[in-house]
Amino acid sequence: MDKRRKITQFITTLLYNPFVTNLFKGRLHTGSTKGVCVPGLNCYSCPAAAGSCPLGSLQQNLGNLKKGVNTYVVGSILFFAALFGRFVCGWLCPFGLLQELLYKIPFPKCVKRFKYLGWLKYVMLVVLVIALPIVISIEKGMGYPAFCKYICPQGTIGGMFLIGFNETLRAQAGLTFIIKTIILVGILICSMSIFRPFCRFICPLGAIYGLFNKIALIRIKHDKTTCTNCGVCEKACPMKLNPVTECNHADCIRCGKCISKCPAGSLKFTGKK
């Protein structure tokens, strides 16, 4: 299953970012595909991006609520959440793939769960994604996507290519970009030691999807009648969860490692017999 997941992650990354040549031209791809919200975190200001980031689009809308709620963006997020939950994180997110690849680098590994640090992503969601764009728009008439502006490492990667190959934009790079670059480098270094630190502790999109993990149509089911409580699934879980007691926990990214390791076949994706 892990091989299938990796292939899906690579294909998804390419589908989200097919215009690779744009990376070296310092300009965005423009076209009607940008009207489509992709499920995972993928900045629409990345030169190679074909679609729009749901989180960025949501913040843009919240920062300009005079035009009304963008039901299309809200509906898209709800659609992915109700259908997949955090399956999106495990299978359909390019930044998740990047972190997983970095985790494969031989480096001292930290296997602690950091349970309470997991709440940080909800703080990010409430403060930077929802509250700040709204408050700023009330104060100044027009808000900005605060999470994208101050934190989002995915946008920084796209920004690096834009700055590198576009002289006009390079002249505008200042302190905010330096801070964002430090955050990006910090996350990438942590990714070598901790499995998916951004997804576990920071990502607000993962926080939204996580809230729907227990009611999403694609989820993991645990058969108590066949389970022997051997603990193999808990050892296999890269998110440091116990699939027996915390099945479909908000932090579960549905990577399926517990399913493939379970010797009794007690864990399955819904719909699988």
Partner 1 sequence: MTGWMIPFMMRSIHRSKNGVFMKKINLIGIILLILSVVLITIGAYTGKVKETERKGNTICLECIGLG
Q: For partner 1, which residue of 109, 115, 214, 272 counts as binding (CB under 8 A)?
A: 214
Nearest by Cα to 234 from 225, 247, 224: 247
Q: For partner 1, which residue of 3, 66, 67, 112 counts as binding (CB under 8 A)?
A: 67
Cβ nearer to partner 1, comparing 156 with 191? 156
Distance in Å, CB of 206 to partner 1, minimum: 16
Helix (H, G, I), strand (E, B) or coil at 159: helix
* By the rule CB under 8 A, 140 interacts with partner 1: no
Q: For partner 1, which residue of 34, 165, 261, 268 counts as binding (CB under 8 A)?
A: 34
User: 255 vs 18, 35, 141, CA distance in Å?
Assistant: 24, 29, 42
Cβ nearer to partner 1, comparing 138 with 215? 215
Burial class (CB in 10 A: 0-12, 13-18, 19+), 198: buried
Q: Are 212 and 85 in contact (CB under 8 A)?
A: yes
Burial class (CB in 10 A: 0-12, 13-18, 19+), 134: middle
Number of residues that bind partner 1 (CB under 8 A): 57
Q: For partner 1, which residue of 8, 18, 65, 82 counts as binding (CB under 8 A)?
A: 82
**Residue 128: CB atoms within 10 Å:** 21
* By the rule CB under 8 A, 130 interacts with partner 1: no
Cα dihedral 199, 201, 203, 208 sign: positive
Nearest by Cα to 180 from 149, 219, 136, 220: 149
* By the rule CB under 8 A, 62 interacts with partner 1: no
Distance in Å, CB of 118 to partner 1, minimum: 16
Cβ nearer to partner 1, comparing 184 with 194? 184
Distance in Å, CB of 6 to partner 1, minimum: 27
Distance in Å, CB of 250 to partner 1, minimum: 10
Which region among 10-18, 43-51, 87-95, 114-122 touches partner 1 (by CB under 8 A)? 43-51
User: 112 vs 98, 108, 115, 119, CA distance in Å?
Assistant: 21, 12, 9, 15
Full DSSP string of 69-113: --HHHHHHHHHHHHHHTTHHHHHS-HHHHHHHHHHTSS-PPP---
Looking at residues 143 to 172 of the shown chain, list those that interact with partner 1 (rule: CB under 8 A): 144-145, 148-149, 152, 155-156, 158-159, 162-163, 169, 172
Q: For partner 1, which residue of 211, 227, 232, 236 counts as binding (CB under 8 A)?
A: 211
Q: CA-to-CA distance for 53 and 187, rounded, in angstroms?
A: 20
Q: CA-to-CA distance for 216 and 77, rounded, in angstroms?
A: 12
* By the rule CB under 8 A, 44 interacts with partner 1: yes
Question: Given the rule CB under 8 A, which residues bind partner 1?
Answer: 28, 30-32, 34-35, 37, 43-45, 49, 51-52, 56-57, 60, 67-68, 70-76, 78-79, 81-83, 144-145, 148-149, 152, 155-156, 158-159, 162-163, 169, 172-174, 176-177, 179-181, 211-212, 214-217, 221
